[in-house]
């Protein structure tokens, strides 16, 4: 593999001056200078090949333990008091209570906890440790 300076020097004729098809010439130069093609004709053939479309990015699925969530919701929700009118709201509140995700962010939790501590500068490190321990217990 050539160094960056050698690659840049090799690419100069392909990127400077007037070219009919600037994009194709740049691609040919890149293939030649990177060593992927030994002749300009070979580089031209590589550059004219249709490119495969990139796969679309997918969202990462959250790692929710469905059986654990279902059992928690089943024990949390009061089935005898369940009606068609309150079904959605009861399920929402039960799922919120059973979800592993915290309702507040770490930063907000720490800010609120440190305000509660009401310590001095000398006790600040101790207060932070106490709040971190409380965060670990609640989450």
What six digits make up the tokens of 1?
Answer: 């593999």
Among 33, 54, 32, 58, residue whose Cα is nearest residue 45: 32
Q: What is the pLDDT of residues 89-110, one digit of tens each?
A: 878 777 777 765 555 778 888 8
Q: 38 to each of 19, 29, 43, 110, how far by Cα in Å? A: 21, 11, 7, 61
pLDDT at 44: 92
- The predicted-structure confidence for 41-75, as pLDDT tens digits, reads as follows 999 999 999 888 888 877 666 666 777 777 777 77
| Separation CA 21–CA 19 (nearest Å) | 6
CA angle 18, 34, 25 (to 5 degrees): 20
Euclidean distance between CA atoms 113 and 131, whole angstroms: 6
Query: What average pLDDT score do residues 25-53 get?
Result: 90
């Amino acid at each position: 593999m050539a160094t960056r300076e050698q690659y840049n020097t090799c690419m100069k004729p392909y990127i400077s001056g007037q070219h009919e098809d600037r994009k194709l010439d740049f691609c040919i130069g890149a293939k030649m200078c990177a060593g992927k093609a030994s002749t300009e004709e070979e580089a031209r053939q590589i550059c004219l090949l249709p490119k495969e479309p990139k796969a679309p990015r997918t969202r990462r699925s959250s790692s929710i333990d469905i059986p654990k969530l279902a059992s928690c919701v089943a024990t949390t929700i009061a089935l005898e008091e369940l009606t068609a009118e309150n079904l959605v709201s009861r399920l929402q509140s039960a799922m919120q209570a059973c979800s592993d995700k915290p309702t507040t962010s770490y930063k907000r939790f720490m800010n609120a906890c440190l305000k509660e501590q009401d310590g001095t500068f000398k006790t600040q490190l101790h207060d932070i440790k106490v709040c971190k321990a409380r965060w670990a217990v609640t989450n």
